[in-house]
Amino acid sequence: MRIEGLTHSPSPKHHFASDNNSPVHASVLDAIVSANRGHTLAYGDDYYTERAVARIKQTFGAACEPFFVFTGTSANVLSLAALTRSYHSVICAESAHLNGAECGAPEKFTGVKLIGLRSDTGKITVADIEACLGHEGDQHHNQPKVVSLTQATDFGLCYTADEIGAISEFAHRHDLYVHMDGARIYTACAALGRSLKAMTTDVGLDVLSLGGTKNGLLGAEAVLFFKPELARDFKHIRKQGMQLASKMRFLAVQMEALLSDDLWLTNARHANLMAKTLAAELTRIPGIRITREVQTNMVYCTLPRQNIDVIREAYLFYVFDETQSEVRLVTSYDTTEADVQGFVEVATAALAAEG
Ligand SMILES: Cc1ncc(COP(=O)(O)O)c(C=O)c1O
């Protein structure tokens, strides 16, 4: 049946707008299909969820307590709900997704004040955090309770294990919890050559929003508590937060597939490699400037303003900063060398035509 007036095309083209836009990895779909048999108990009381929880404990350490949710925003918001009361504040980077791109959900659902710190890299330091303290016990001030780190940051940069360790040590000394938005933790671990455990459990994190959807899943994320006492009420918080899946097995098997056979690492390494290749190629084009270090799967660069539309017609991407004509190109686990070359050819031709 033909439907007139549709604005989107079903074209299977790849582009560079976001790793959210990539399809589901075939192994993940296979895992969903193989779990699609018979009746199981709902809400997580099932064999598949038990198996996935065991896999997560194997990956992150036996003490961690995982809870599956549908979205990254809910993982962040519900993590904060577990750690705070409404008079608390959360220290994060200004660029953090939870500060700028979650439509105020953290504030609405928890009541906390977010303190967004300016940072060109998206990383915050012990000194930045220390500068936010000083009103402890003062009844007029929100009380800082959580430091939230984004790994990799919204600019694609990574905190090292030492940096996270230093922040955790400082935070805990000042009665603060450490949360990590790990929507892209996989690309960070791949870039640093470190295991998921080394970058979380072993460096003192309290709670992790563990991503998935940006690295090949259909739609599954998880909240991991590294101190079981913090997880005590979370089953109620998740249900009140409308994130308790009845058909939990289908979330669970996605995460299990990602953590099995190093699929997370293969996917993330590939996305990172494609970003590095793209950046290296773009550096050679006169008129294009790479604006930020490329550590993971994001390339920020300037493009001449007049060329942006024509390149975007061939390969969709987003303009990050209109004033600087700075754009963001994101690679995914399924980005191909041909996609990179295609983008480079279109950009080269567009800039040459202009010159
Ligand atoms: C760093 C980061 N955290 C959290 C999210 C939220 O994920 P979702 O869109 O699944 O709510 C995103 C989404 O792009 C993100 O980039």
Q: What are the two backbone dihedrals, phi and then psi, of residue 92, each rounded to the nearest 5 degrees?
A: -150, 180
Number of domains comprising the chain: 2
User: What band does 355 get if pLDDT is binned at 50, 70 and 90?
Assistant: low
Q: Judge whether 113 lies within some domain.
A: yes
Per-residue pLDDT tens over the stretch 251-302: 999 999 999 999 999 999 999 999 999 999 999 999 999 999 999 999 999 9
Examine the domain organization and report whether 232 and 280 are in the same domain.
no
- Is the domain of 51 the same as that of 158? yes
Say what percent of the chain tops pLDDT 70. Answer: 99
Mean pLDDT in residue range 195-207? 98
pLDDT tens digits for 56-65? 999 999 999 9
**Ligand 1 centroid vs 102 CA: distance in angstroms?**
8
Of the three residues 233, 259, 285, the one that is the final residue of a domain is 259
CATH assignment of the domain containing 230 = 3.40.640.10
The sign of the torsion formed by the CA atoms of 148, 153, 159, 161 equals positive
Q: Are residues 225 and 331 in the same domain?
A: no
Query: What CATH number should be reported for the domain holding residue 313?
Result: 3.90.1150.10
Per-residue CA distances from 153 to 51, 81, 194, 205, 262 (Å): 31, 22, 17, 16, 22
How close is the Cα of 256 to the center of ligand 1, in Å? 20
Q: What is the pLDDT of residue 295?
A: 98
Question: How is residue 284 written in tokens?
Answer: 């050679």
Mean per-residue pLDDT, 189-196: 98
CB-defined site of ligand 1, < 6 Å: 20, 71-73, 76, 97, 150, 154, 181, 183, 213
**Ligand 1 mean position, distance from CA 285 (Å):** 32
In this structure, are 211 and 330 located in the same domain? no
Which residue's CA is minimally distant from atom 7 of ligand 1? Answer: 72
The answer to whether residue 21 sits within a structural domain is: no
Give Dmax (Cα) for the chain: 66
* pLDDT for the residue numbered 4: 83
Same domain, 102 and 179: yes
Clarify whether residues 49 and 139 are in a common domain.
Answer: yes
Report the C-alpha gap between 265 and 296 in whole angstroms: 12
Cα–Cα distance measured from residue 154 to residue 289, given in angstroms and rounded to the nearest whole number: 19
Calpha distance 44→3 (Å, rounded): 40
What pLDDT digit, counting tens, does each position of 10-58 carry? Answer: 777 889 999 999 999 999 999 999 999 999 999 999 999 999 999 999 9
Residues 253 and 315 placed together within one structural domain of the fold: no
How confident is the prediction for the chain on average, in pLDDT?
97
Does residue 298 share a domain with residue 181? no
Asked if residue 305 and residue 201 are part of one domain, the reply reads no
One domain for residues 197 and 111: yes
Judgement on whether residues 323 and 202 belong to the same structural domain of the protein: no
Q: Per the domain annotation, does 193 fall within a domain?
A: yes
- Which residues of 60-206 form beta strands (DSSP E)? 65-69, 88-93, 113-117, 143-150, 177-182
Q: Which of 259, 294, 318 is the C-terminal boundary of a domain?
A: 259
CA of 284 from ligand 1 middle (Å) equals 32
- Per-residue pLDDT band at 354 (split at 50, 70, 90): low
- Could you give the CA distance from residue 296 to residue 301 in angstroms, rounded to a whole number? 14
Q: Which atom of ligand 1 is nearest to the CA of 72?
A: 7
Written as six digits, the tokens of 178 are: 């450490």
Q: Is the peptide bond before 352 cis (omega within 30 degrees of 0)?
A: no
Instruction: With respect to residue 337, please indicate whether it lies within any of the assigned structural domains.
Output: yes
Closest ligand 1 atom to Cα of 70: 10
> What distance in angstroms lies between residue 207's CA and the mean position of ligand 1's atoms?
16
Contact 301, 291 (CB under 8 A): yes
Say how many Å lie between the CA of residue 17 and the centre of ligand 1.
Answer: 14
Are 248 and 42 spatial neighbours (Cβ–Cβ below 8 Å)?
yes
Closest Cα to atom 9 of ligand 1: 72
- Which pLDDT belongs to residue 1? 66
List CB contacts of 289: < 8 A, sequence separation 6 or more.
301, 302
Domain hosting residue 312, numbered range: 263-354
Task: Name every residue whose Cβ is closer than 8 Å to that of residue 82 and which is 6 or more positions away in sequence.
Answer: 207, 223, 225, 230, 231, 233, 234, 237
255: nearest Cα among 47, 49, 9: 49
Residue 341 lies in a domain: yes
Closest atom of ligand 1 relative to the 74 alpha carbon:
11
329-351: average pLDDT: 97
In a domain, 207, yes or no: yes
| Residue 18 located in a structural domain | no
Residue where a domain stops, chosen among 205, 227, 259: 259
Q: Is residue 13 part of a domain?
A: no
- Could you tell me the end-to-end alpha-carbon distance of the chain, in angstroms, rounded to an integer? 46
* Gyration radius of the chain's alpha carbons: 21
Looking at the structure, do residues 313 and 253 belong to the same domain, yes or no?
no
